[in-house]
Amino acid sequence: DQQVKQNSPSLSVQEGRISILNCDYTNSMFDYFLWYKKYPAEGPTFLISISSIKDKNEDGRFTVFLNKSAKHLSLHIVPSQPGDSAVYFCAASAFGNEKLTFGTGTRLTIIP
């Protein structure tokens, strides 16, 4: 039972344009959401997070949007840079439960 889904295994975006990565979840107990970025041969690196009491969180070029009614979140990267090419994982947790539930990842390729 995949509680966190990233339906796009890959995405290619031109350098300088906006990258939008999507994530859907099914567990209504999830109240905290995170995005991680992973390069080959490295562990995931925390990128940005959002609590369920917010619908938007911004950090530099990265913005995460949360639509609780649709159980959907998205990560926007503007402008996209070649160094953003990596696999991006969406993850979720429920308060009081320490485990993170990850999606299967989206491979983002930025085309120079």
Site residues (CB under 8 A) for other proteins? 4, 6, 32, 34, 36, 41-46, 49, 89, 91, 93, 95-105
Task: State the minimum distance, in angstroms, from the CB of residue 92 to other proteins.
Answer: 11
Task: State the minimum distance, in angstroms, from the CB of residue 2 to other proteins.
Answer: 9
Which residue lies nearer to other proteins by CB, 60 or 112? 60
Which residue lies nearer to other proteins by CB, 80 or 106? 106
Task: State the minimum distance, in angstroms, from the CB of residue 16 to other proteins.
Answer: 28
The Cα–Cα gap between 18 and 108 comes to 12
Which residue lies nearer to other proteins by CB, 27 or 79? 27
Structure tokens at 24: 């859907």
The residue type of 98 is E
Question: Which residue in 33, 52, 34 sits closest to 44, CA to CA?
Answer: 34
Which residue lies nearer to other proteins by CB, 39 or 67? 39
Torsion of CA 45, 50, 55, 56, to 10 degrees: -50
CB 111 within 8 A of CB 15: yes
Task: State the minimum distance, in angstroms, from the CB of residue 10 to other proteins.
Answer: 12
